[in-house]
């Protein structure tokens, strides 16, 4: 595969697609990382991704999904572009360009599969700094984390870190994990109602106290954004 990208011969930028896939697990924000088997940076940890295969990928988002499925077996619930990173120094092979996707998934959806893949692991966001990380992926993860934090303040996107059926308490907890400080339960309830993108289930669920109402995302709705942020 790599032979098509011999930069010294064709002066073509090396183009890859990577993803920062987040989830929240046990009250901690985690990012999916892969132990690199090949050079450059063999043995170090990097983001899941790779080269576009123009024979099977219709667009670069398909590349991102394909690479993520190899590690998690499923497509993430939320996927959007983060940014493109490029430069002459980020890859020892030469000028390289990486389009990075930003993705969210419920941990429960992938937990069993990820244990069977021994080169991919959920890394606690605070542990990334202690790992040997490939390329500029440490920096990219920081940027993705900042984006996720912003999204948690003005949008309902973090709901995609939750299982299909979830409670207000779980949603609140995910948001608090992402933004790193407490929010008012009331604010979450207000937004759930105002967004109009959720429906209540008849079922309730145990929570240590009073039974909690279950919610799910209505079919076919888009993520709702708000005109006002939660407080930072």
Binding residues for DNA, rule: CB under 7 A, are: 167-169, 183-187, 189-191, 194, 204, 206-213, 226-231
- The nearest distance, CB 146 to DNA, in angstroms, is 18
Given a contact cutoff of 8 angstroms between Cβ atoms, the answer to whether 33 and 45 are in contact is yes
Residue pointed to by tokens 């389009």: 99
- Report the run of H or E that residue 33 belongs to, with start and end: strand 28-35
- The answer for residues whose C-beta is within 8 angstroms of residue 186's C-beta and 6 or more apart is none
Answer yes or no whether residue 131 interacts with a copy of itself by CB under 8 A: no
Answer yes or no whether residue 223 interacts with a copy of itself by CB under 8 A: no
Residue pointed to by tokens 């440490």: 138
What would the two tokens of residue 202 be? 């008849």
Residue (52 or 197) nearer to a copy of itself, CB: 52
Given a contact cutoff of 8 angstroms between Cβ atoms, the answer to whether 158 and 174 are in contact is yes
x-or-dash string of contact with a copy of itself, 149-168, rule CB under 8 A: ----x---------------
* Residues 50-109 close enough to bind a copy of itself by CB under 8 A: 52, 54-55, 57-61, 81, 83-84, 86-88, 94-95, 97, 99
- Partner from a copy of itself, DNA, none contacting 54, C-beta within 5 to 8 A by type: a copy of itself
What would the two tokens of residue 5 be? 């990208």
Tell me the site size for a copy of itself, rule CB under 8 A: 32
β-partners of residue 122 are 32
Residue 174's alpha-carbon distances to 114, 148, 160, 203, in angstroms, are 21, 11, 10, 21
- Partner from a copy of itself, DNA, none contacting 37, C-beta within 5 to 8 A by type: none
List residues near a copy of itself by CB under 8 A.
4-5, 7, 10-13, 15, 52, 54-55, 57-61, 81, 83-84, 86-88, 94-95, 97, 99, 153, 227-229, 231-232
């Amino acid at each position: 595969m790599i032979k098509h990208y011999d930069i010294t011969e064709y002066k073509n930028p090396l183009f890859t697609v990577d993803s920062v896939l987040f989830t929240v697990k046990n009250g901690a924000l985690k990012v999916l990382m892969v132990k690199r088997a090949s050079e450059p940076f063999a043995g170090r940890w990097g983001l899941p991704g790779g080269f576009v295969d123009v024979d099977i990928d219709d667009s670069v988002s398909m590349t991102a999904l394909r690479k993520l499925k190899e590690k998690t077996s499923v497509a993430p619930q939320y996927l959007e572009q983060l940014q493109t990173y490029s430069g002459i120094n980020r890859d020892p092979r030469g000028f390289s360009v990486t389009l990075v996707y930003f993705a969210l998934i419920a941990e429960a959806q992938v937990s069993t599969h990820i244990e069977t893949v021994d080169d991919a692991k959920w890394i606690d966001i605070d542990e990334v700094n202690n790992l040997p990380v490939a390329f500029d992926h440490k920096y990219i993860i920081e940027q993705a984390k900042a984006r996720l934090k912003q999204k948690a303040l003005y949008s309902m996107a973090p709901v995609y870190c939750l299982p299909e059926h979830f409670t207000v308490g779980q949603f609140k907890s995910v948001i608090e994990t992402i933004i790193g400080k407490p929010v008012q339960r009331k604010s979450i309830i207000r937004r759930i109602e105002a967004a109009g993108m959720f429906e209540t289930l008849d079922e309730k669920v145990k929570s240590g106290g009073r039974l909690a109402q279950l919610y799910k995302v209505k079919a076919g709705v888009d993520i709702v954004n708000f005109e006002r942020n939660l407080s930072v």
